[in-house]
Amino acid sequence: MRILIVDDDALIRDSLKLLLGLEEDIEVVGTAVNGQNAFEQCQKIRPDIVLMDIRMPIMDGVLGTKLIKSHFQDIKVVILTTFKDDDYIKEAIKNGAEGYILKNQSSDSIVESLRAVYKGNAVFERDIMDKLSGMLKDEKKYPKLELEITDREMDILKLIGDGMSNKEIAKKLYLSEGTVRNYVTTLLEKLSLRDRTQLAIFYIKNLS
């Protein structure tokens, strides 16, 4: 997978580039110092994943995510930050980020998160998911929806809302990963949603 690292701290950029460069399946194809610079780099090199800091000068990671995702739906964005601020979390996910992880994680954990996102999963740390759940529940304005989905599809939707990967769902429900992927595709079509992140948010906001 091809990674673009975005951080205004040169030491962090260089450290991440060194650590990620040690992995055989990862190629760091560029670095950027803010959201605007990241968008310009995406136009040139089209990375698979943008590893994006939040607080940066000129354009922060939230606006950078919005700009990138509005032009390149196929490029995935993972927020890597020290901040757990509610507004940052909500806006980053609202703007299309597929992951939100903290810089205090081990390098192995960051690498595994990138691999999971590359495979199509959304990655959010448990405390981030808990904060997101609380924020979205506070925003609820409508009663629970009546949906034309099966009990099994609802089981899968709930587990996606709990932050589980396809592999974890397959293990819990005694299904193959391929079967889970098929269910996820069906749910996306039925609910007219774009990706797993939107499925998770839909479940938390409307059904949990």
pTM (predicted TM-score): 0.70
- Residue 135: the pLDDT is 55
Q: What is the pLDDT of residue 198?
A: 78
Order across the sheet with 99-102: list the strands. 27-32, 2-6, 49-52, 76-81, 99-102, 123-124
Residue range 2-135 in CATH 3.40.50.1820: no
Q: Report, as an integer, the average pLDDT of 9-24.
A: 94
pLDDT 10s digits, 46-76: 999 999 999 999 999 999 999 999 899 899 9
Q: Which CATH architecture has domain 141-206?
A: Orthogonal Bundle (1.10)
**2-135 and 141-206: same fold?**
no
Of residues 17 and 84, the one with the higher pLDDT is: 17
Beta bridge partners of 80: 101
pLDDT at residue 140 tops 60? no
- The per-residue pLDDT for range 141-154, each reduced to its tens digit, is 444 456 788 889 98
Max CA pair span of the chain: 51
Domain ranges of the chain: 2-135, 141-206
- 10 Å Cβ neighbour count for 173? 15
Structure tokens at 126: 């448990």
pLDDT of 25 over the 80 cut = yes
Is the model more confident about 100 or about 137? 100
Give CB contacts under 8 A, 24+ apart, made by 21-26: 23/111, 25/1, 25/115, 26/1, 26/111, 26/114
